Structure 1
Amino acid sequence: MLFPTLNFGLFFLAVFFVSWALVRLPRTRLAFLILVSYGFYAAWDWRFCFLLGGSSVFNWLMGHLIHRATGDGRRKLLVSLAIALNLALLGFFKYFNFFLNSANALIETLKLGRDIPYLEIVLPVGISFFTFHGISYVVDIYRRKISRPARLSHILFYIAFFPQLVAGPIVRASHFLPQIAAPVDPHDIRARRALLLILGGLFKKVVLANYLATGLADDVFFDPTQYGAWDILLANYGYAAQIYCDFSAYTDIAIGIAALLGYRFPVNFNQPYRAVGFQDFWQRWHISLSSWLRDYLYISLGGNRRGAWMRYRNLALTMLLGGLWHGASWNFVIWGGLHGLALIIEHRFFKGGLKPATLTPGRKIAATLVTFHLVCLTWVFFRAADFGHAWSFIAGFARIGTAPTLATPFNLGLLSLSMSLHFLPPDWVARLETSMARVPLVAWGAVAGALIVAIDSLGPSGMAPFIYFQF
């Protein structure tokens, strides 16, 4: 089920009313939310519910073993085993055929004999996200950020909770498990803020992201040789705007849905195209992933504790693995590698990275423009089907004499509107929430319903899946 569909709307309305009807029966309510979360996942493929449940039970058991283990060596061995097995599960489903294809290409190049047989492996939706949630739990137990192992029902809910199950945000176990243990208070729900996030997310996905894809990005990336430099540039900008609107829309809706059910998710985007450097960009883009990679990978590798060259190595490894996390393709490795290289350059020449507070207004504008265009260039490898398509797209920047065909008022208006979201006041949602505090919640709910219908009518026909569903 996709968020911006009638089926999901009916599903969520039923979940909302039943879950709050059960508020005085917390165990029954939790069991109900676990059940509907597995039902939500089963809508894609019910068979993978066993994989999801098995991953949850495994991490719950490993959490108990790590907590009970005596001696640092034994605890470290157990957490290493838990991480390795989680990654092995992810690697089999997501990367087996990638490495198999790479091996077959090498065999063919070296003329060593027959290819290795190919396996048809279906990628479970959201496996990258629920695997990282499992790792978060066992590592937080190991680091004693969680004082004692959680109940199995709490782990089942934490890993399978349907708003964040498919595409995040990645919620830390130490952040979410205490919320499950505490009683939910219907009077503590910021319903107006939640509805604003949901409405904003629906508009970004249904209108902005979908039209940017169909009108600018998709056709050009499919065959960039048919377009000149100006259309290539517009498509590049279009995809940068599309992926932001698409992914931030999903997380805004997920945060709003979780809030309406009584749970808090972390903010995942903070106007990333206002970044003055790549370090600043990753503090604004997919914040739950970048902070997860920093705390669970970069710091585990040694962080910046062992000198400059080890820091550069750790940055490179973190971003290469972060790129590979996004997909089983050399394009994602290149994308991650370019971001790692940019971070290394910043740390080398700007003593720990560019920081907005240290720049004059003129230098801040220049740094923002340079960062934005470099990020757009790296998006080419993220979006293109393969390296050949990426290179064809980049080569298109040289076809300057070709007249643009995509610079229509509608497309330019979409781009302008999408980018203007980065220059709203950072607290614009809080301001709107405050301004609507006097409007009765029932009236605001009716207005929200009417706006949902209006947004649906403004979008193109059909509904493309969210981009991050593939990860």
Structure 2
Amino acid sequence: MLSHSLHYVIFVIGVFALYWAVHRHFWPRMLVLLVASLVLYTGFTQLPQLIAQGNVTPEALLLAGMPLLIFLGGVTVDHLLVKGLGRAEGPGVRKLLVVLSIVSNLGMLAGFKYLELLRKTALALLGPWGVDVRPEPFHLLLPVGLSFFVFQSISYTVDVYRGKASSGHSFIEHLLYMLFFPRVVSGPIVRESELMAHFRQVPTLSPDDGGKAMFRIAVGLVKKLIIADVLGSGIVDPVFGSPHAYSSAECAVAAVAYTLELYYDFSGYSDIAIGVAALFGFRFPENFARPYLAKNLFEFWNRWHMSLSSWLRDYLYIPLGGNRRSKPRVLFNLMMVMVLGGLWHGADWRFAVWGAVHGVALCAVRCWWWFRGKQQEPGPVRVGLGMLATFTLVVLTRVVFRAPDMTHATEFYQRMLAGIPGLANVGPLVWTVLAVAIIAHTLPMKVYDLTARAFLKLPAPARAVVLVLIGLGIRQLASLEARPYVYLQF
């Protein structure tokens, strides 16, 4: 049940009605949200398909429900460790408990997401030397949203260890925090202080807050259905699928289009998640801040997928020493964070390459600042050049991110640099959506604020009509099939 589908809209409306009918009572409203979260996540398993087919044998149900059981097991282990942290007083015991939580979560991620990559790598490196390595794949399932689940789980345990989060939450609260349906699949990564700490507060929702939430959902639907999906199906998929069949100029346009598609796809999901959470009285952190207007790569990562960037900073970069160590160590820390952050996106070494390229570029910027000094207010020419250089690097590295493997990425680069002219395969619809995407990304935030105010002035029924028309009507008019979110694979 994707959040840009009609089924999701109906689902949210039903949960919304039940939730606000019992919102003054803690356990009933918690039960509504928890059941809704379990139902929605179950939709991403094979359970609904098995039930529809009548295949309800215990073995089949157990296998199909394994992703949910994995999540339940992970929450149970972490909850016990958090309760131990709340009671333990000795620093040694507390450190042991938090280490156990980190190892447990990373072990779960490594086992289900990276074990097959390690097997292939070991086979390629050790096989020629006669070392016996398993030749058959493990065929392990990868639960949807596991990467987000693990990072959010680690953040809670570490925050309890640091004294920044409470260990007094119940198991039900902990479980709902991890599986809260607006964000369970693709984030944003939410801290305890941003969600679980508010569970016991009686929620409120003013008409203006409800209107703002609906507007945010509408913006997310527009980003996903009208911009990201059109770019994806109109040029990105065909060109990346067969780059040799297109000109160099068309490959370059496809690379830019994919860069925009990825932003509008993921930020659209984040907008819908933030808007839906707001309908239930919760405020999620922003996840994007017009990243393609960044003047340098550090600023880009402060604007792109901000919940992940801040997680990597707070739970990896700073514990490694951050900027407080020697200059070589600072550069090492940057490289470690970017390579590991790259691998977080997928069990393929090309993601590590993508992260390493960004790491090298960040190190180069850092060295330049050390050498020349960081200017607080660069002139307009330098700002423009910085934005162009940053965007160009992002576009070029996105090829590795999008290609199925490094061989395919190399082929794409070669085709793009071959100097073959021609844009015959870029249709008017794609050009129009590209222009809309670029203009929308560069518009001042004041324009969005004015549009939101105009939306708020509409009566509630009119707002609902606008939301449905934008989210579903335009997609039907464009004859486009709803596409899954790109970040579902992570």
TM-score (norm 1): 0.96
Q: Deviations over 1:244-283 (max 9, x none)?
A: 1111110001101111111111010111100111100001
Counterpart for residue 295 of structure 1: 314
Q: Residue 33 of structure 2 aligns with which residue? A: 33
Q: Provide the C-alpha distance between the structure 2 equivalents of 1:84 and 1:66, rounded to a whole number of angstroms.
A: 15
Q: Find the residue that maps to 1:44 and give its secondary structure.
A: coil
Q: Residue 300 of structure 2 aligns to which amino acid in structure 1?
A: F
User: Which letter maps to 2:408?
Assistant: H
Q: Which amino acid is 1:310 matched to?
A: R
Matching residue of 1:193: 212
1:13 aligns with 2:13: yes
1:169 equivalenced with 2:197 (yes/no): no
The answer on 1:340 being equivalent to 2:359 is yes
Structure-1 separation of matches of 2:371 and 2:263: 26
Alignment match, 1:318: 337
State the shift of 1:13 in Å.
1.1
1:210 partner letter: D
- 1:355–1:327 distance in 2 versus 1, CA, 3 Å: farther
Instruction: Report what 1:22 is aligned to.
Output: 22
Residue 438 (structure 1) shift: 3.5
Distance apart, 1:436 and its partner CA: 3.9
The reply on whether 1:127 has 2:109 as its aligned counterpart is no
Report deviation, 1:108.
3.3
Q: Is the 8 A contact 1:346 1:353 kept in 2?
A: no
Greater CA drift, 33-42 or 436-445: 436-445
When residues 453 and 228 of structure 1 are mapped into structure 2, their CA distance, relative to the original with a 3 A threshold, is: closer
Q: CA deviation at 1:402?
A: 4.2
Tell me which amino acid in the other structure corresponds to 2:102.
I
Aligned residue in 2 for 1:94: 113
CA-to-aligned-CA distance 1:401-460 (integer Å, 9 cap, x gap)? 343333332222211111222211124443323344443334333333333343332444
Distance (whole Å) between structure 2 residues aligned to residue 313 and residue 247 of structure 1? 29
User: C-alpha displacement at 1:52, in angstroms?
Assistant: 1.4
Q: 1:289 to 1:130 in 2, by over 3 A?
A: same
Structure 1 261/138 Cα, relative in aligned 2: closer, same or farther at 3 Å?
Answer: same
Return the alpha-carbon distance in structure 2 between the equivalents of residues 149 and 418 of structure 1. 45
Matched letter for residue 317 of structure 1 = M
CA distance in 2, matches of 1:453, 1:86: 38
Distance change in 2, residues 1:353/1:233 (3 Å): farther
1:407 to 414, 422, 426: 426
Deviation at 1:79, TM superposition (A): 0.6
User: 1:11 Cα shift?
Assistant: 1.1
State which of 170, 174, 185 in structure 2 corresponds to 1:155.
Answer: 174
Unmatched 5+ residue regions in structure 1?
none
Give, in angstroms, the shift of residue 67 of structure 1.
2.0
Of residues 246, 265, 270, the one that matches 1:251 is: 270
Per-residue Cα deviation, 1:358-417 (whole angstroms, up to 9, x for no partner): 211111011101110110011011100000001111111232134333333222221111
User: Aligned partners of 1:400, 1:288: CA distance in 2, in Å?
Assistant: 39
CA drift of 1:355 comes to 7.4
2:471 corresponds to: 452
Structure 2 counterpart of 1:320, one-letter code: V
| Contact 2:236/2:258, CA 8 A, preserved across alignment | yes
Q: Measured at CA, do residues 446 and 113 of structure 1 come closer, stay the same or move farther in structure 2, by a change above 3 Å? A: closer
Is the Cα contact below 8 Å between 2:190 and 2:307 reproduced in 1? Answer: yes
| Shift, 1:10, TM fit | 1.4
Alignment correspondent of 1:61? 80
SS of 1:269's partner is coil
Residue correspondences, number? 471
Q: Percent identity?
A: 37
Q: Please tell me whether the aligned partners of residues 163 and 254 of structure 1 are also in contact (alpha carbons under 8 angstroms).
A: yes
**d(CA) in 1 for partners of 2:454, 2:375:** 30
Q: What CA deviation, in whole Å up to 9, does each residue of 1:11-64 have, x standing for no partner?
A: 111111111111122211111110110110111215121111111121111111
Q: What's 1:439 paired with?
A: 458
What is the aligned partner in structure 2 of residue 462 from structure 1?
481
Distance 1:253 1:30, change over 3 A: same
Taking structure 2 as the reference length, the TM-score comes to 0.92
Task: Check if 1:108 corresponds to 2:127.
Answer: yes
Q: Does 1:210 align with 2:229?
A: yes
Q: Residue 375 and residue 177 in structure 1: after superposition, are their counterparts in 2 closer, same or farther (change >3 A)?
A: same
State the distance in 2 between where 1:445 and 1:5 align: 15
- Contact 1:184/1:262 (8 A) holds in 2: yes
Farther-moved stretch of structure 1 (17-26 vs 283-292): 17-26
RMSD of aligned residue pairs (Cα, Å): 1.9
Give unpaired runs (5+ residues) of structure 2.
48-64
Cα contact 2:255–2:395 (8 A) shared by 1 = yes
In 2, the alpha carbon distance for the partners of 1:323 and 1:458 equals 38
User: What SS does structure 1 have at the residue aligned with 2:206?
Assistant: helix
**Helix, strand or coil: the match of 1:165?**
coil
Aligned counterpart, 2:54: none
**Residues 111-165 of structure 1 deviation map (CA, whole Å, 9 limit, x = unaligned):** 4456443211111100001111111110110010014431111111110001100
8 Å contact from structure 1 (residues 130, 165) kept in 2: yes
**Contact 1:276/1:354, CA 8 A, preserved across alignment:** no
**Cα distance, 1:205 vs structure 2:** 1.0
